[in-house]
A and B are shown apart, each in its own frame.
Chain A
Amino acid sequence: MSDCAICGRRSEKDDLCAYHISALENVKIAFDEWRKALEIDWNTYLTRLLDEENIGKWAREVVEYLMQQDGS
């Protein structure tokens, strides 16, 4: 049993808690729409999400986590 890498709640899968898993799912689902809309790749998408005013708190944390993972 490990903790969520983002918030410290109990993790359910891949070092993420239930909340951050569902945020990650949303980020992935929305990518399809963004790709269709703007023809951008995954990394550009993540960077652009950070500028989005209305992105949810957990979704933003997941994006930051993904970018950090990618960078390290």
Chain B
Amino acid sequence: MSKIMVISEKPTAARKLAFALDEHNAPQEIKKRGASYFECLRGGHAIYVVYALGHLFELKQVEKGWTYPRLDMEWVPKYEVDKKATNVKPIIRLIKRLAKEIDEFIIATDYDIEGSLIGYLTLRYACGIDSDDARRMIFSTLTKNELQKAYDEASTELDFPMIEAGQVRHEIDWLYGINLTRALTLAIKNASGWFKIVSTGRVQGPVLAMVVERDKKINVFVPIPYWNISAEGICNGSAIHLEYSRGRIDNRVKTVRIANGLQERKGTVGDIKRSIVSQPPPVPFNLGGLQAEAYRHFGFKPSRTLNLAQTLYLEGLISYPRTNSQKIPPTIDVKQILVQLSEQKSYKSIIKEIIGQKVLSPAQGKSTDPAHPAIHPTGERASRRLTPSEKRIYDLIVRRFLALFGKPAKKERARVEVKCNGHILVCRGQRLIEAGWMRYYGKYVTVQERVIPEMDIGDAVDIVRVDVEEKRTAPPRRYNPSSLLRLLEKKGLGTKATRAGIVDSVRSRGYTLNDRFEVSTLGYALFETLQKYVPTLLSPDFTRELQGEMDKILQGETDRETILAHAKESLLELLNSFKEQEDMIGRDLVNGLQRYWNESEEVGTCPTCKDGKMMIIRSPKTGKRFIGCSNYRQGTCDQTFPLPQKGRIVPLGKECPHCSHHMIKVGSGRRAFETCINWTECPGRKGALEKLEKQRAKGERKDE
């Protein structure tokens, strides 16, 4: 009886594999000191299913010293680089021990760049096996059938182009991340003696640049007034809503004149245009599409959606989510999936209708992926109760899948012109004639119907009310995690596997203040310095070029060594020019950091330690501002006061008559009010507190 080791990516996937491969559907889990593996029997062979925990190995510099340039690296067990990663130790030990008795190795990690690399590194550094001797299982869902088929038809060769592409991406990210972060940090240290880690990376620089460009536009924005006129009319006994046909009006006097000219007048129906608009079904989900839709409907951040989808995949409920494809290829048995899904009550009647169609051909999108189809349900039922969030993502994926089989939706649009006293008003109507796919997609699509009465040319319209609304032009929209992710996707920055993490990191490093990507002074300091001295780091060209080279590896047009050598060369050039300007770079960053720390003016001496200064500080973590003692950094005083989060704060340099704390002005213009920093406790400030609560409630309503 020969012994076969199957290497999977995660414990849950290992369990699925073991149950699929064991002939009696009863694999044994053998637990060994903090790790485990599954033993199965199949076709007279003993199969050991082991698992990694994502990456077990990481890159580490060969030569010692926290300096730069450092261009040589090696793969070492993760716990050597990351002290917290103690959980991988027993796993590596177990795989190493088991590997000694194994006759054949099969890699069964996720079939993509990262998965292939995890499998390869585990084989090479934990099993100590030459990769030419291993086979590869290829699958897109963790269903029993597909796993058995993937095992029986395992490729005799590993996917070397994917492994090489993955390896070189890690190597280059490591090289750029380590060296540039050290260059920046050391420039600050040499200029000021402070040790403040300022990091950047291959993709992070261009992302910071995009976020800063948008932030700048918002910061210099000045709103401009304009007016809208709308009216209520009666036509043939029914009320109709009318809008002034020329849209925005840029002058108040003119607005009033037009409005007065319409007040209580009679109009007549002029031109009538009706059109039928057909809206085809949506395309299948790729990861970006799912993330955008989940953000829109549930407010889930892209990284959260990815995690939830990953869990559903590991449960065998959906196909592999890290895909770029918007296609459901004919090899997928959609009928079988639909039949299985119809066992779930909420989809039963819709699926009955779909299966009744002559041909089952799902709508297809344009994007493709070499390794996986679009995200779709497998049809299998959950073996446990899903959490509410998992259920939402699952339902969204199923509903989208069902919608692919629907007919185009049809809407009728009408535009009716009403002439009145030399002005033209417009009445717009819209109604759904045929819901088509929208019924299948359910609550994830809504059509705003505007029903209008029958009207004919020449019909009389009584204007019964005229409304004038004064408005302001709006600044460019801020990014949210989902829109930024979509932009990265559009610009070809990062990969489907890394984008969500990059979006999170811009904030977690303190370069932006909140989920709305407001750039902090630190973010500006870094951006300005890089822009002045090493603009390459902010340009998307370099990283896009690398992405292109990785694609060439995948197509077998180049190899890892060539690209790595090239990347080291350009990095070295960059680092040399950086070193030459290190003094200036350091000085500029230090100035920026000082602004960051002092930005917030001093409010006065600390009432507690009588030595430190009370400063307005923004928490780099939450982005919330508060007042804290400057001796906090020395660890000698931790006095803080809360601050209202909206409105500019100006210290007033006087004391509160009620409690003698420092006074500040909150906000500006007519909405400004004065208070003391002790406002939440001060006996004389009950009014200010209530006012703030009211403002906050108003602000929140607006945010909704």
Contacts and interface: CB of A to CB of B under 8 A. Distances in A.
Contacts of A54: 221, 223, 472, 474-475
Contacts of B528: 9
Contact of B221 (A9, A33, A55): A55
Interface residues of A, number: 29
B381 interface: no
Interface in A29-72: 29-30, 33-34, 36-39, 47, 49-52, 54-60, 64
Contacts of B251: 36-37
Interface string B463-480: 000000000101100000
A33 B474 contact: no
A19 B216 contact: yes
A20 to B, nearest CB: 9
B668 interface: yes
A23 B220 contact: yes
B250 A55 contact: no
Contact of A50 (B219, B474, B670): B670
Contacts of B216: 19, 22
Contacts of B475: 54, 56
Contacts of A51: 669-671
B595 A37 contact: no
Given A37-B250, A60-B648, A64-B668, A49 B222 contact: yes
Considering residues B220, B223, B253, B475, which has the most beta carbons from chain A within 10 angstroms of its beta carbon? B220
Contacts of B668: 50, 60, 64
A27 B474 CA distance: 15
A51 B668 CA distance: 7
Contacts, number: 74
B44 to A, nearest CB: 72
Interface string B149-176: 0000000000000000000000000000
Interface in B615-668: 648, 668
Q: Chain A's interface: helix, strand, loop or mixed, by majority?
A: helix
A56 B670 CA distance: 17
Contacts of A60: 648, 668
A26 interface: yes
Interface string A10-30: 000000000100110011011
B225 A34 contact: yes
Contacts of B219: 19, 23, 56-59
Nearest to A33: B224
Considering residues A8, A36, A37, A59, which has the most beta carbons from chain B within 10 angstroms of its beta carbon? A37
B250 A59 contact: no
A37 to B, nearest CB: 5
B698 to A, nearest CB: 11
B252 interface: yes
A56 B252 contact: no
Contacts of A33: 224-225, 250
A36 B250 contact: yes
Contacts of A38: 225, 252
B409 interface: no
B222 A27 contact: yes
Contact of B220 (A36, A50, A56): A56
B226 interface: yes
Nearest to B474: A54
A61 to B, nearest CB: 8
Interface in B218-234: 218-226
Contact of B222 (A7, A37, A55): A55
A8 B591 CA distance: 9
Contacts of A7: 595
Contacts of B218: 56-57
Considering residues B216, B224, B252, which has the most beta carbons from chain A within 10 angstroms of its beta carbon? B224
Contacts of A59: 219-222
Nearest to B475: A54
B663 to A, nearest CB: 18
Given A51-B671, A56-B220, 8 more contacts: A23-B220, A26-B221, A27-B222, A47-B669, A50-B669, A52-B472, A54-B223, A58-B219
What 5 A-B pairs are tightest by C-beta distance, nearest first?
A50-B669, A30-B222, A56-B221, A56-B219, A23-B220
Interface of B: 216, 218-226, 250-253, 472, 474-475, 528, 591, 595, 648, 668-671
9 contacts: A9-B595, A19-B220, A22-B220, A23-B220, A38-B225, A56-B218, A56-B221, A56-B222, A57-B218
